[in-house]
Structure 1
Amino acid sequence: MIVKKISIMVSVLFSISMFSQEIAKTEIELKPIVKVSYLDSVKSSFKKDELATRVDSLWMNELVSLDIYDDLTKDIQTINTDVTVDEELPTELLKQRLQAMNEKSPFDIEYNQGLENIIKSFLKNRKKSFSRLMALSEYYFPIFEDAFARQNVPLEIKYLAVVESALNPKAVSKMGATGLWQFMYGTGKQYALKIDSYIDERSDPLKATAACSQYMTKMYSMFGDWELVLASYNSGPGNVTKAIRRSGGKTKYWDIRSHLPKETQGYVPAFLATMYLFEYHKEHGINPERALVKNFETDTVQIKAQMSFKQIADLLDMPQSQIQLLNPSYKLNVVPFYQSEAHYLRLPKDKVATFVSNEDKIYAYAAYQSQNKTMSTRLALKVTPKAKAKLENIIDTDYKSYKVQKGDNLGTIASKYHVDIIDLKKWNNLKSNAVALGRNLKIKTDYDPATKTFKEIKSTLAVEKKSEEAIASADDKDKKNTQSQEYKVASGDNLGSIAKKFGTTIAELKELNNLTSNNIGLGKTLVVSKAVPEIIDENAVTTAIASNSSIDSFKKKVPSSKDLGEDYYVKKGDSLYSISKKYPGVTISDIKKWNNIKNGEIKPGMKLKING
């Protein structure tokens, strides 16, 4: 009996042991194989400095926004100092404050009715703008003060950058003046600022401020009066010298002001009004928005090989917009490498530590990615439209057909299928946003409006090493499809506003249209972008060549709330189209879906979620 019980127990224990092994075996077999990309493998090996600095997205947007620059510039150019402004600020109190400012400043700050009118105008119309500008000043003013102190230039000159550029290093005037200090091309070259295809040091806060300091010192040695130095900065020393002669030899700004160009007559008062608002912002209820990153929290590292901002952002896990902010002099979002020159990248200190600790891996990754990109670009440029269409058919991206119904417009149709209006027009050869009732439109999408989901594409794309030759040889005699984008000049347009609208520069517009001046006629058709060959999707080719294997499936999904990584606050003049262009890969439909926008209406100050 005892033997029987022992036998049963042994059998049970053996069964449990076997069952446990089966479970373990099953768990091992079911554990998925995780494929790690080269980027992830490089980053996982980094020595990390955990002292991370989080950058507030709202403040980042302020640093690269141009709306204050546009508004403030217009104010200064058009403000009438002779018009009395109804704003609560007793004249006697203002006189006392101006006197207090005068006592501690080398500028001749004296009360006059014109200055009072400008101060009251700013208080009435620009309180919010100055609140935002004061946040920007926390980053830029330490840079200015350091440079001016080296050359014995009054520190108050720092307020001039507010008047000149609204503290935006990417600001470009209608005449082409660029950067925080608005240097013209010739002046920038005169003060040894480098300007080439990759770099424009007029947008470099450190180097441009040093050049500004040199200019101020030179002008002061000429005129011996800081107000006249400011006037010469705006209109040139020649105009100031003429005004002195026309006034009968007087050498004070307020005595020759009426003989200066109209814009310069309001320029120095605007500077003094700006100084007053910064000095007495608390008394007027102006609460500065806090800057979360200050200049002394950043440092530089010398770059030893050409790298793009995107590569750096991917490797260091930081927003590309932050790299653009800290390195505004690099025009193409690329840090170049010249054999004879040193180029530096400015980063938050914790990111500099990560970069320096992992330089070899970072440069190896950049070289690897650049090599693959070159390969894919060579292949892409060989692909004709017909060959591209054949490849797209392999990937199963057939067009859907949609019949235009009553009440439809391109915006609602694009939103319904989660595509961009521009693509919708391209697929159907539409020249305008008008679309006829009953017309069948072609739409390339894998989104199903019925189920409100993206379908999974199950077809397989096999690309072997010979793909490059096979695709390049297909329809080799076909001409590449090229198309330039054009724009018809409307009422109120100028080269500056058109360049801003299409993300280009005044110089490029003039070059594309053979313009010798900034004047453009109403109704004139301008070319706003160069013709480029239609090419295959570079990412698809890169993936195919790099893997030399099949892609089992592609899947899109609607971003969930946890994917929405950035907030955007709508500014004056914004549209869904202009906002979408700020974020690569984001469409109007995306923004509308993420923010539950039924139509295209947005208002200044409105908070939008952007997939970061």
Structure 2
Amino acid sequence: MTLFSLPGRSLPRLSRRWLTISGLALVLLVSGCATTLPPEPAPIPTAPQASTAPAPRSLPSYRLPSDIPLSAIGTADTSVPGVTSLDAPSDLWDRIRRGFSMPDLEGDLVRDREQWYATRPDYIQRMTERSSRYLFHIVEEIERRNMPMELALLPFIESAFNPQAVSSARAAGMWQFMPATGESFDLRQNVFRDDRRDVLASTRAALDYLQQLHGRFGDWHLALAAYNWGQGNVNRAITRNQRMGMPTSYTDLTMPAETRQYVPKLQAVKNIIARPEAYNTTLPLIGNHPFFDTVTLQRDMDVAVIARLAGISEADFRVLNPSLKQPMVMAAGTPNILLPWDNAVVFEDALSKHTGPLASWTAWVVPTTMSVAQAASRVGMSESELRSVNNIPPRMQVRAGSSLLVPRTGQRNGDVPAHVADNARLSLQPDVVLTRTTVRARKGENLARLARRYGVSAVSVADWNKLAVNAPLKAGQRITLLLPKRATVASSAKKPVKKSASATQRKTTTASTRKPVKAKAASSSSKTRVATTIKK
């Protein structure tokens, strides 16, 4: 049987088989060699059987199409749009742009904030220059946690990158932590330091908090709303919308105006950083490298000594270490300080050669409640100096357990222990007891003159009565004052006091108890003195 034949010609068996194989190969080559035939599986061994001739297999016929031209093999285009460049970022702004990953927010509020920032180039310049000290560290932390890089811009919205900023609601620091929220994220707040202002500690706490909020709400815009408004408020707003069958995204919730504008502000800053030329803005160059280095202290040190050894001013030192309130760094409470990158090496080299004292201050825990004058005498300071260093207002006593910063002496020369550095407090009480008194204004008198007449602060009187400091007063108008008890007693002693009959009777009864023999005479005498007083 002929397996393969061409018209008008009969080929030998070997030639016909070779032509069949060649035809298969040619078809595969034309198809682009995209597929290879799998090898035949090995035969499965079976039990010997009687020899039978195998049935012949019929092979398919292959014919090369004559109407399809062959083309030369070329190089395919493998470029994919949107692939991130592998080149190192040219500066920190470029690195920040590459990390943007939040969905963009559109709308009139975003455009309004863009316009607000774009018309204030001097404000943007101050903010961005201030951020150059802290931004690299924040970017590093965000990348390490694989968080959206938009969060690195959040201090622009919160504090304009000012770590000393304090809001009207007492939120403090670059990330604007409220006191209670700061405590819940282990940010210490005492008379010696406030970690809400600490660059490293507050950044760690803020990113921890934002991650926690994102884990709860599953949306970065809602997480930011909760950072500003509180997670309880956002949760209640979401629940309210769910009950009404409404969407629960950031733009769908009912919230205060400040929170409503919070994410649009961040979006506006993001847009300006992404395309500064579109907003006629020039960003200052911030290199993609650290601005500061961390140095660990083993002993308490004066701020003045650290600055001198590092070759920087005290003002520059406090810019990088804004949590410190006192002229000394307590190693037990703040072991890590920040110094400009090059100056950190200078400081460590100078410290290794330093032979003089490192600290001239220490902490003293007041053993019992005493006046400021008494405390100053105990520690060898003047009263005014003790008040100034420890921010003690006038007419106040220092209560037992308070921690005061005092000069080192032979008796007090050790470093501050950890329990004092972490938990120091200043507890005060009034030096004299104040009593609430109501007085009447004179004709033509204003609040400031009335306060001066009674020897009290006009600001305090205005606060007590909810009036302006120089508010005009009507003749006879009642004004509330808080006066020392002894002054109140002295002023009341000038006025005659009528004693009731019951008071007279009590005196009579007491006198008769002491002297029963002359009870009648004593009683008459008492009545006479009271009557005389009344006539006067």
**Alignment TM-score, normalising by the size of structure 1:** 0.42
Whichever of the two has the greater Rg, that structure is: 2
Structure showing the higher helix proportion among its residues: 1
**Alignment TM-score, normalising by the size of structure 2:** 0.48
